[in-house]
Amino acid sequence: MHDIHSDKILILDFGAQYTQLIARRVREIGVYCEIWAWDHDPAEIVRFAPKGIILSGGPESVPEPGSPRAPQVVFELGVPVLGICYGMQAMAAQLGGRVEGNHSREFGYAEVRLTAPCRLFEGLAEALPPAPHFGEGESWMGQPELPAVAAAAQPVRLDVWMSHGDRVTAVPPGFHVTATTESLPIAGMADESRRYYGVQFHPEVTHTKRGTEILRRFVVDLCGCATLWTPAHIIEDAVARVRAQVGQDKVLLGLSGGVDSSVVAALLEKAIGDQLVCVFVDTGLLRWREGDQVMATMAEHMGVHVIRVDAAERFYAALRGIEDPEAKRKTIGRLFVEVFDEEAHKLQGVKWLAQGTIYPDVIESAASRTGKAHVIKSHHNVGGLPERMKLKLVEPLRELFKDEVRRVGVELGLPHEMVYRHPFPGPGLGVRVLGEVRREYVELLQRADAIFIEELRKQGLYDQVSQAFAVFLPVKSVGVVGDARAYEWVIALRAVETVDFMTAHWAHLPYAFLDHVSRRIINELRGISRVVYDISGKPPATIEWE
């Protein structure tokens, strides 16, 4: 069995919005990495034993007193270091260079010229001469003929993404300038003898055309990491760890039908078979026929032991008369725990509760000062159950990003439609029926939403948008059905495009497509007389209506 954690990269986070993207790119290359706060305990960094370290960007200004710096141990481990944006500036300041504040920020596309040999950029274009490979104790300063060789070659130009205010104005001793732009004399620097590299641009974002190649050069060629981080190896490792962790004990999982819990179920079934018991609470607030789909996929196709609890009437009764969105959320969450708790107590010999914690949850929940990762976010609304039931936690996905969870799900044999389904809120359609939730409203919404999603799939648009759904509006609108005047409900359609769901643009779906969906909803659903399309971005609007 492969040790998929043996070759690893440490990313020290200075607070950049792109830090998790760096980690995702490194993982996509096939190398395990972790994100720790910039002020992490140096002793733990030594014990972690990374084969390379990446210093992230950040919002602070290096010349400002008290601005963050990398622990000195980073430069004492003898491993390659890559500074990105703020990380490059911090490295320069700490190693004897000079950084100055810049009153005009540079944000957006830029063209970088690679002006000198650098192993980090090797292979990006034939116009670059071979980079120097120094022996121990040698440096750029000991190779006076190389700058002339570099100057004779035509500089390679790269399209990159910039986002910075400060700039390095003098490189530290032992470094040389590797890249420039029209407005930035030092856009890259390197000390080949110590394998220290800095880039002012962001190789992790897709706007930087050959950014992944640069990161691959760093983690694979310069750090010497083997590309062991693959879905097949991740599954192999997770199965072995789960078996060692739970032994012959029974494990309980709250199955929601979402991606995370479905992948956990498939993974645990592979690891421990009939020791896994899943409880699926059908709240009546799921998508059209979703309960049946979950049972068909997990119980029949995957062979998972699933107990289905039909609690729809209890949820509708509890939500009667409640219009406030937050009150609805709390009611749904409280009742879910209550129903799940009742079913869990009927089971004998269960000692573990499985949860779909993923790596971004761990990062967000970790204390910055200590870097200790402790999850404080509840998942699938069963956060209080371990304490009340005296259950121990098993979290097989806690090292994975969402995109990795999806790839593992496909590798495990879950249907593509389930694994790559659009996000769905925890309270379900309870927050997509505006105002009071009634069964008749939910049923209309389920069918309208199903028509919208069906047509998106038919036209090949489903995977082109990040999230799409219908909303039931509790207002009546005048319409004409046949020769009669109708006074019926309104459905809103929502589709957005986004990278991180922090901001989003409304999707510009074809007019003919929207017209077809609208006609189908009005013609097929008695009670709907009008369909509208939401063209609000985030911000100012949120993606969900409630």
- Whose structure tokens read 């022996």? 135
User: Is the CB of residue 312 less than 8 Å from the CB of residue 332?
Assistant: no
Give the separation between CA 107 and CA 194, rounded to whole angstroms.
Answer: 30
Assigned token pair, 231: 């879905």
Domain with residue 353: its CATH number is 3.40.50.620
Residue 385 has pLDDT above 60, yes or no: no
Residue with tokens 């989003």: 504
Claim to verify: residue 240 and residue 214 sit in the same structural domain: no
- Please indicate, yes or no, whether residues 46 and 96 belong to a single structural domain of this protein: yes
The mean per-residue pLDDT over the stretch 401-407 comes to 94
Span 27-46, pLDDT tens digits: 999 999 999 999 999 999 99
Average pLDDT over all residues of the chain: 88
Domain final residue, candidates 222, 239, 258? 222
pLDDT at residue 298, rounded to an integer: 86
DSSP string, 4-68: TTSSEEEEEE-S-TTHHHHHHHHHHHT-EEEEEETT--HHHHHHH--SEEEE---SS-TTSTT--
CA angle, 420 then 307 then 340, to 5°: 90
| pLDDT band at residue 137 under the 50/70/90 scheme | very low
Number of domains within the chain: 3
Name the one residue in this structure whose structure tokens are 């949120």: 542
Do 116 and 147 contact (CB within 8 A), yes or no?
Answer: yes
Please state whether the peptide bond connecting residue 540 to the residue before it is cis, i.e. omega within 30 degrees of 0.
yes
Per-residue model confidence as pLDDT tens digits over 191-239: 999 999 999 999 998 888 889 999 999 999 999 999 999 999 999 999 9
In this structure, the answer to whether residues 261 and 348 fall within a common structural domain is: yes
Rounded Cα distance, 353 and 357, in Å: 12
Do 102 and 84 lie in a common domain? yes
What are the beta bridge partners of residue 488? Answer: 477
Q: Is 261 marked within a binding site? A: yes
Q: Is the dihedral of CA 368, 47, 73, 200 positive or negative?
A: negative
Is the predicted pLDDT of residue 321 greater than 90, yes or no?
yes
- Evaluate if residue 17 carries a pLDDT over 90: no
Alpha carbons 377 and 398: distance in angstroms, whole number: 12
Tell whether 492 and 518 lie within a shared domain. Answer: yes
- Give residue 393's identity as a one-letter amino acid code: L
Q: Please tell me what DSSP assigns to residue 299.
A: I
The verdict on whether residue 257 carries a ligand-binding annotation is: yes
In a domain, 150, yes or no: no
The structure tokens 């890249």 sit at 179
Q: Give the CATH number of the domain where residue 36 resides.
A: 3.40.50.880
In the chain, the percentage of residues whose pLDDT exceeds 70 is 88
Q: Which of 106-115, 285-294, 396-405, 433-442 has the lowest mean pLDDT?
A: 106-115
256 is in an annotated binding site: yes
Q: Which residue has the higher pLDDT, 408 or 499?
A: 408
Looking at residue 373, what is its pLDDT? Answer: 36
Residue 370, pLDDT above cutoff 50: no
> What is residue 140's predicted lDDT score, i.e. its pLDDT?
39
- Pick from 196, 222, 248: which residue ends a domain? 222
Residues annotated as part of the active site: 85, 202, 204
Query: What would the DSSP string read from start to end of 204-253?
Result: TSTTSTTHHHHHHIIIIIIT-------HHHHHHHHHHHHHHHHTT-EEEE
Q: Residue 194 domain-assigned?
A: yes
| CATH number for the domain that contains residue 469 | 3.30.300.10
Percentage of the chain lying above the pLDDT 90 cut: 69
Domain residue limits at 177: 8-125+155-222
Q: Is 279 annotated as a binding residue?
A: no
